[in-house]
């Protein structure tokens, strides 16, 4: 168990740069921060220390406060998560004027993960705050390994039916709710509608279509404009995961890899390989090339990722008013829905004011009376999009966004999030991403797709058995 956990911590640290934007690291999730991509890349480089070394450098998260009206919380990203917490504090003070939220800002999500590991391993939780922000992809492992570090939100009064089922699936462990969702990881497919129009198409022509038809349109766009129809950071390639989720399927089955001999998965990989070979999909070498060169540098007519990619799109100011978002193509041609990343807030085992903490979370992020005020403020000041349906009914969420051709993209994203299929997840998510990315590269270079997927699955099974 220790070896597996150390491996998990290392992978978590290395993944910071990619999940920064979905609430899982520092930087790229902010829809107002023009330096998000650079911050994200820097955070990833700093986090690539061995897990054992990271444990030795565990950050003190500050513990709790003796003030009965004060809650402490640890979170990362001064431009995204911190403004959301400040918005929640302000909203809760409307009904609790004496309330205060002491925010401990950490550099990355791995700081919280390492602190929880130390507390859970030693049995000393004194350095944990009342509440922590935690990555969706990792929380189940940490709750199962360190159950004493967490308190359930079952009796918080939160209406869980007010949230997308896929978002809640991460923070629901053994039937009990542990986390209050913060951000919305729903994926969007954004297109340059002016470029589509130049090629004789509209946003409707790329909505509810097959991937084969999408490739045909992409080849025409490439030929007429020189632009790819999509790009991706191939060093942290999330395309297979999102494309499979849009099909309602997972890369895992009953806790095991499910890619070799999986016809749906093979078709998905074939789409990526064909798109790359034809210049329709631009596979970038790293995050900076993906954001700065391909998207901001105006090399693509489409972007497919978690909605936290929006601020990167918006950095190409010359393209303002020329973008629109829609759903994901699928193999069958039905409209597809996916998500990529996100985080939630959890009450720690060190919190002696659990009733206050539950009231705070339920009133704000949990869809209570302060939810609209919380999320309107969080959207304006931090770019945080809610996954809470009732909170998205506000006037702010219904407003058209000029950069996206006056589409009301925020309410659309929340609605899309309610359709995202819940699929099986696994602690080896990032190992899968790495190995499948290598397989895609090999196939592009002439390798046999069946053999490459078999090799990827075999290597992944080997890692899981260590």
Rounded CA-CA distance 206/188 in Å is 13
- Does an H or E element contain 327, and which? none
Residue at token pair 């061995």? 50
Output the average pLDDT for the chain: 89
Q: Which residues contact 307 (CB under 8 A, 6 or more apart)?
A: 184, 185, 186, 187, 188, 385, 413
- Give the chain's end-to-end CA distance (angstroms, integer): 10
Rounded CA-CA distance 460/462 in Å is 5
Give yes or no on whether 2-185+342-393 and 187-338+423-465 have one common fold: yes
Q: Give the residue from 381, 286, 321, 394 showing the smallest Cα distance to 38.
A: 286
**Mean pLDDT value across residues 393-422:** 97
Q: Which region holds residue 28: left if phi is over 0, alpha if psi is between -120 and 50, else beta?
A: alpha
Superfamily of domain 2-185+342-393: Periplasmic binding protein-like II (3.40.190.10)
pTM exceeds 0.85, yes or no: no
Burial class (CB in 10 A: 0-12, 13-18, 19+), 347: buried
Is pLDDT at 214 greater than 50 in this prediction?
A: yes
Superfamily of domain 187-338+423-465: Periplasmic binding protein-like II (3.40.190.10)
Is pLDDT at 196 greater than 60 in this prediction?
A: yes
Rounded CA-CA distance 237/283 in Å is 9
* Domain assignments of the chain as residue spans, ordered by start: 2-185+342-393, 187-338+423-465
Model pLDDT for residues 102-150, shown as the tens digit of each residue: 999 999 899 999 999 999 999 999 999 999 999 998 899 899 999 999 9
């Amino acid at each position: 168990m220790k070896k597996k956990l150390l491996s998990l911590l290392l992978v978590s640290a290395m993944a910071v740069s990619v999940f920064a934007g979905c609430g899982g690291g520092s930087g790229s999730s902010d829809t107002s921060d023009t330096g998000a991509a650079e911050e994200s890349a820097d955070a990833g480089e700093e986090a690539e220390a061995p897990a054992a070394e990271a444990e030795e450098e565990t950050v003190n998260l500050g513990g709790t406060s003796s003030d009965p009206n004060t809650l402490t919380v640890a979170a990362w990203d001064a431009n995204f998560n911190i403004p959301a917490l400040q918005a929640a504090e302000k909203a809760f003070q409307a009904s609790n004027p004496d309330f205060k939220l002491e925010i401990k800002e950490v550099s990355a999500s791995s700081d919280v993960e390492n602190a929880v590991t130390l507390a859970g391993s030693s049995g000393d939780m004194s350095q944990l705050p009342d509440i922590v922000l935690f990555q969706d992809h990792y929380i189940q492992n940490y709750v199962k390994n360190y159950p004493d570090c967490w308190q359930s939100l079952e009796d918080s009064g939160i209406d869980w039916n007010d949230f997308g089922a896929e978002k809640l699936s991460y923070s629901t462990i053994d039937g009990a709710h542990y986390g209050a969702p913060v951000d919305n990881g729903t994926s969007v497919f954004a297109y340059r509608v002016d470029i589509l129009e130049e090629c004789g198409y509209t946003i409707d022509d790329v909505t509810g279509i097959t991937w084969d038809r999408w490739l045909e349109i992409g080849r025409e766009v490439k030929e007429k404009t020189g632009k790819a129809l999509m790009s991706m950071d191939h060093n942290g390639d999330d395309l297979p995961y999102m494309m499979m989720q849009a099909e309602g399927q997972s890369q895992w089955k009953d806790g095991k890899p499910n890619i070799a001999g999986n016809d749906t998965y093979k078709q998905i990989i074939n789409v990526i390989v064909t798109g790359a070979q034809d210049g329709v999909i631009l596979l970038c070498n790293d995050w900076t090339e993906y954001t700065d060169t391909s998207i901001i540098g105006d090399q693509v007519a489409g972007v497919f990722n978690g909605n936290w990619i929006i601020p990167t799109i918006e950095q190409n100011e010359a393209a303002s008013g020329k973008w629109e978002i829609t759903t994901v193509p699928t193999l069958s041609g039905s409209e597809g829905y996916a998500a990529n990343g996100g985080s939630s807030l959890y009450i720690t085992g060190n919190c002696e004011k659990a009733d206050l903490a539950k009231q705070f979370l339920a009133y704000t992020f949990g869809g209570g009376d302060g939810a609209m005020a919380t999320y309107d403020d969080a959207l304006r000041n931090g770019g945080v999009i809610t996954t809470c349906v009732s909170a998205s009914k506000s006037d702010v969420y219904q407003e058209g966004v000029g950069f996206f051709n006056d589409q009301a993209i925020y309410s659309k994203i929340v609605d899309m999030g309610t359709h995202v299929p819940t699929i099986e997840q696994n602690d080896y998510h990032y190992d899968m991403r790495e190995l499948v990315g290598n397989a895609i590269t090999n196939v592009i270079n002439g390798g046999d797709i069946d053999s490459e997927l078999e090799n990827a699955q075999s290597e992944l099974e080997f890692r899981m058995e260590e």
